[in-house]
Amino acid sequence: MGTEKNLQQHDSPSAGKDTLLASFFAVPEHRRLFHEVQRKPNNENRQQLDEAFRIFFFDIRFRAYISMLVHYYAVGFDRRERRERSRYELILDQPVQPEEGGTSRIELMADPISENGSRDQEPAGGVLLEDMIGCESLYVTLKKLTLREKEVITAAYVSQQSDTEIAGALGITQQAVSKTRSRAIRKLREAYVKRGG
């Protein structure tokens, strides 16, 4: 009978500051029920008006609940999607195999092409690093290095280029040059130590 108290407080269906009642009375059927209660204030008319208000109020609450549910589901979905995307980012500097010092994904990608349309296999000056190695185990290990590792080692130690110059020539970052050089030196050092040199 809460509707009855509200009805007694308002002289007409459109009066009042309550937006809920204003939207309720915006429906012509609800206004008709209200006028019926004013003309014939019996229990049957009041029950019809109360039932119409209960249905209307339930509809409002249900819509608010669904709206809130959709909102929070969308926020949760967005969080899950961001978390999944961040988990499976492609990190090019990470080793392809979990072993320490493995070849990174960026090294497996195609190398940039020089002006003449192909990569020069021989370094500037025609000096190959393999020709400078006298130790057999180091020579075998040097042959096992990736092309990128050979290029970086040759440029750094034969051509005496800085990391910046090597990075510019190979089209990679200074950090990648440093990591590649360190990895190649570590491989060569391990081979030398195993040999007992």
- Per-residue pLDDT of 86-140, as tens digits, reads 776 666 666 665 555 566 666 655 555 444 444 444 444 566 777 777 777 778 8
In a domain, 170, yes or no: yes
**CB contact at 8 A, 167 and 177:** yes
Q: Say whether both 117 and 178 belong to one domain.
A: yes
Overall domain count for the chain: 2
Q: Say whether both 115 and 173 belong to one domain.
A: yes
Q: Say whether both 127 and 184 belong to one domain.
A: yes
Nearest to 44 by CA among 33, 53, 54: 33
In tens, the pLDDT along 140-192 reads 888 888 888 888 988 888 888 999 999 998 888 989 999 999 998 888 888 77
pTM of the model: 0.39
Write the CB contacts of 150 (distance below 8 Å, at least 6 apart in sequence): 129, 142, 184
The whole domain housing 21 covers 2-87
Q: Say whether both 116 and 156 belong to one domain.
A: yes
In a domain, 182, yes or no: yes
Q: Say whether both 150 and 113 belong to one domain.
A: yes
**CB contact at 8 A, 160 and 131:** no
Q: Say whether both 80 and 121 belong to one domain.
A: no
Instruction: Tell which of 56, 87, 118 closes a domain.
Output: 87
